[in-house]
Structure 1
Amino acid sequence: MIFGLSIDGIPVSGFTDSNTNGLKNEFMTQFGIVPTAADHKGSGVKLAWLRTLKRRMQLDTALGRQMYVKIHLLLLFGTNLFCDKSGMTIHWKFLPLLRNVSDIRGFSWGSTCLAHLYRALCRESRYDCKEVDGLLALLCIWAWERLPFLAPVRSHPSFPLACSRSGIFLQFVWNPYSPDHIENIVVPNDILQHRLMWSAVVPLISFECIEWHASDQVMR
């Protein structure tokens, strides 16, 4: 509801090998180019190099447009959905999932974002942690939905909910996604049809990161 990401589909998983050979082979296979030693840090590809590569993409062929979309998604992962504390790189482990453009929509990206955020919050609760990473925009907007006295007033009903904030009102909302709260928002059917899964108690998977979606512990 917040970001419009599917919570149903194929688990986002695969190899997380930090060996740079896998990184180079995958980039050569999909883009015909290999990042130099200066363009990656271990298993993380530098976002600056990806931005340069994206600007140089030729969009006059279907293959060129597909490569452009893949790079755009890697940048989206590295700057928003799965960003790390450096904000400079994205792990190459996501790249094999983008081999077939038509299959990208089949993955459960929503549950993966939650797993990544839950793991990040777990790490950041430690006394020796000094920085925060993860999908903090999701956490912020979730708090606005639950604690609207902290939030900008919704300017107009829209989907995803992250697009419709602009002042202040007071109360705590226990069930912000009930029909009476979203009746004026046109939610795509491919999101709405999974509403019974929103409160499911299930493991959330993001490669080596597995966290429980323990909704029964935080709902009335």
Structure 2
Amino acid sequence: MVLKVLAHSDHKDVIRVIGHMMDKGHIKGSRMLQCDHYMSSDRYNPIAEEFLRDTGFYYVSQIGVVQCQAALVNALIERWRPETHSFHFPVGECAVTLEDVALIYGLPTNGLPVTGPTLSSYEALEAECLDQFGVAPRQADCRGSFIKLTWFRALKDRLVLVDDIQIQRYVKCHIMLLFGTVMFGDKSGAGVHWKFLPLLRNFAGIIQFSWGSACLAHLYRALCRATRVDCKEIDGPLTLLLAWAWIRLPFLAPIPSNPRIFSIAKR
């Protein structure tokens, strides 16, 4: 009877969850998403700091490594409702907002939309990289429309920062690494889609895009996909999600082993 009622309500995912968890009346177990592809943060040469500030990506470059908190991520996913794009708690609803993105990542949240065509041909990818970096990745350095992060790291290490052109190329490599890790990371954590490269052509115009809005939209999509019963892994800006949870819900934050203690006179 329960399944019939749910079917009339078109709750297909709920029915699939019941079928997944029940086997002849016995509980099989719950679902635990994987989110363990974090990589070390990419540092940058201080010579390029001024150029990095001009693009609006300086503050997000200061984000350190956040080890995966699988239990917290899964608990938040259980409370996420795709219909409202918010977390449903017993005390009410809450969600990650553009203000949170601006405070945590320091990204611009107004400006031009991050949009454009998505091409899949290697020839177009090669031409774009040759135009912006003077070199192009081999097909072995690509995975479909994704360029491996190792290629950008190797190129970044080879660049000699002797003039503005080389520094701009260096900063573009660093931004693409940010895209592939803390902003628009995929489930592999090893590549970044080259569709973002055309938006970096005009170096002075990079800051005009609303990168914070695109990052938040990517997080929302990742959370919505993670609510599906057949999803086994979550991607997206999980560092943003964890930092938001620890700031807005401080009782969930980890307790430091050596908390800093200040005397009352110095507070």
What is the aligned partner in structure 2 of residue 5 from structure 1? 107
1:60-209 equivalent positions in 2, closer than 5 A: 60-152=162-254
CA RMSD of aligned residues (A): 1.6
- Which has the higher mean CA deviation after the structures are superposed, 87-96 or 28-37? 28-37
Asked if 1:17 is matched to 2:102, the reply is no
Q: Which whole-Å CA distance do the structure 1 matches of 2:104 and 2:139 have between them?
A: 38
Return the offset for 1:145. 2.1
120, 125, 129: which is aligned to 1:27?
129
Q: Which whole-Å CA distance do the structure 1 matches of 2:182 and 2:125 have between them?
A: 21
Q: Which runs of 4+ in 1 moved over 2 A?
A: none
Structure possessing the higher radius of gyration over alpha carbons:
2
Q: Which whole-Å CA distance do the structure 2 matches of 1:60 and 1:31 have between them?
A: 15
Helix, strand or coil at the partner of 2:105: coil
What stretches of structure 1 of length at least 5 have no aligned partner?
A: 156-165, 168-220
What stretches of structure 2 of length at least 5 have no aligned partner?
A: 1-102, 260-267
Q: Which letter maps to 1:124?
A: A
Asked if 1:56 is matched to 2:150, the reply is no
Count of matched residue pairs = 156
Q: Which whole-Å CA distance do the structure 2 matches of 1:81 and 1:129 have between them?
A: 20
Q: Which whole-Å CA distance do the structure 2 matches of 1:80 and 1:148 have between them?
A: 22
- In terms of fraction of residues, the more helix-rich structure is 2
Instruction: State percent identity of aligned pairs.
Output: 57
TM-score by length of structure 1 reads: 0.68
Cα deviation 1:8-65 (Å, max 9, x = unaligned): 0110011111122221110011111111111111100000111101100111011000
Return the offset for 1:152. 4.7
Q: Which whole-Å CA distance do the structure 2 matches of 1:26 and 1:62 have between them?
A: 19
Note if contact 2:181-2:237 (Cα within 8 Å) is conserved in structure 1: no
TM-score by length of structure 2 reads: 0.56
